[in-house]
Amino acid sequence: MSLQDISDRVRAAEREKGAPAGSVHLIAVSKVQPNERVDAVLAQGHRCFGENRVQEAAGKWPDFRETYDGIDLHLIGPLQTNKARQAFELFQSVHTLDRPKLAKTFARLAQEMGHCPEMFVQVNTGEEPQKAGVLPEDADAFIAEARALDLPLRGLMCIPPVNEEASLHFALLAKIAERNGLKGLSMGMSNDFEKAISFGATHIRVGSAIFGARVTA
Ligand SMILES: *Cc1c(COP(=O)(O)O)cnc(C)c1O
């Protein structure tokens, strides 16, 4: 697969859904990928990328930003509170807001810095003990709490359990977003982004289908 192939498939899924062309944001997940592969995708004009670790992102994106304008960076992995300031400096969106302490820290930083990344609340739709995210039953209260802090909430994010039908999780996330008046839905990865779009995804996070398999140490 290539960026062009994936973009074509995204456009087709948008048409199928009846969503406006270009309304789904394709986040190219570049974590662990060699810089040459990331550079190749930048050179094709793509500007929207996702990373799951602040440290790794801090090591490579400032250099890419010297070469390419308009890079839109999304944090899609868990965030330690003590890295929040660094995340503020690097990312335009954070998809993993999932606890009051982090929400309060972001609110304080937003005051201090005069800007704030757009936020997605991560919901642990599969209620997996090892996974980050608020439980579905706690989502409404947490969303209200984040709003009371004036955080720029864009929507919700989920990572369905690997061995379950993703549709159920996409549908649940869409339902929670709708009843809370949130438009953004960050869901769908290499294997299921078309399905996610059919359930209303506005942001899909696609790594290996664009860059090839991740080389893990
Ligand atoms: C790595 C990652 C992705 C991309 O996964 P692929 O299967 O390579 O598309 C999407 N979302 C999150 C949160 C990830 O950590």
The closest residue, in CA terms, to atom 6 on ligand 1 is 207
Q: Is the pLDDT of residue 73 over 90?
A: yes
Average pLDDT over residues 113-135: 97
The bridge status of strand 118-122 relative to strand 93-97 is parallel
Mean model confidence pLDDT for the chain: 96
Give me the DSSP letters along 119-132.
EEEEB-TT--TTS-
Q: Which distant-in-sequence residues (6+ apart) come within 8 Å of 17 by Cβ? A: 197, 198, 200
112 C-alpha vs ligand 1 centroid, how far in Å?
32
Could you give the percent of the chain with pLDDT greater than 90? Answer: 96
Q: Ligand 1 centroid to 210 CA: how many Å?
A: 11
- Check whether 17 has a pLDDT greater than 80: yes
What confidence category does residue 215 fall into, taking pLDDT thresholds of 50, 70 and 90? Answer: confident
Ligand 1 atom nearest the C-alpha of 205 is: 10
141, pLDDT greater than 70: yes
CA-nearest of 55, 99, 58 to 81 is 99
What pLDDT band is residue 214 in, cutting at 50, 70 and 90?
confident
54-92 b/e (C-beta count within 10 Å ≥ 16 → b) = beebeebbeebeeeeeeeebbbbbbbeeebbbebbebbe
Inform me whether the pLDDT recorded for 216 exceeds 70: no
Cβ count within 10 A of residue 187: 33
- Of ligand 1's atoms, which has the minimum distance to the CA of residue 211? 8
Tell me the best of 205, 206, 215 to mutate to test the pocket of ligand 1, counting ligand atoms within 8 Å of each CB and taking the most.
205
pTM for the model: 0.97
Taking CA atoms only, the protein residue closest to ligand 1 atom 13 is 76
- Expressed in angstroms and rounded, the spacing between residue 115 Cα and the centre of ligand 1 is 27
- The best mutation among 41, 52, 204 to test binding of ligand 1, ranked by most ligand atoms within 8 Å of the C-beta, falls on 52
pLDDT at res. 1: 67
Residues 28-58 pLDDT 10s:
999 999 999 999 999 999 999 999 999 999 9
Residues contacting ligand 1 via CB (< 6 Å): 29, 31, 52, 76-77, 159, 189-190, 205-209
